[in-house]
Amino acid sequence: MRINFNMPTRTDFSVRLVEWRDSSAVLAHIRTVVFVGEQQVPPELEMDGRDGECVHVLAETAAGKAVGTGRLMPDGRIGRMAVLRDWRGAGVGGAMLRALMEEAKRRGTGEVYLHSQSHARDFYLRHGFVAEGGEYEEAGIPHIAMRASL
């Protein structure tokens, strides 16, 4: 028998839609930890001033700890997908992505698109996205454009 201490299970989190005005502190915190802290994205690039026009998802543990976020822009672009390190590989990113895609479909959007960090390409492929064009740099990180029909 193998026991993992301090490792999350795949079922002890939930994902819900939230508004920036109500949840900005916790959403910004997660993004700052992941993008600014871990990936060295300049804060002025990370906080682009467009969050108020987006719908956001928030992933939380059963105890209410925020562990992930992402956003859907009015034009169907999904972005700012961030999961805290201890929760990666636990299904949080996939659950958040599905929630954003479902919300886009509910709003009548026929397709969604995103700028995937190149290392996450396979994650998005598994969720129905297709790559478009070649690799490019955004905020000093290799990216690839991807799109999915809803």
Predicted TM-score (pTM) of this structure? 0.90
What are 103-145's pLDDT values in tens digits? 999 999 999 999 999 999 999 999 999 999 999 998 889 999 9
pLDDT of residue 12: 87
Instruction: Name all domains of the chain by residue range, CATH numbers in brackets.
Output: 13-108 (3.40.630.30)
DSSP state string for the chain: ----TT---TTSEEEEEEEHHHHHHHHHHHHIIIIIIIT---HHHH--S-GGGSEEEEEEETT--EEEEEEE-TTSBEEEEEE-GGGTTTTHHHHHHHHHHHHHHHTT-SEEEEEEEGGGHHHHHHTT-EEEEEEEEETTEEEEEEEEE-
Please tell me the predicted confidence (pLDDT) of residue 41: 93
End-to-end CA distance of the chain: 42
Q: What share of the chain in percent tops pLDDT 90?
A: 86
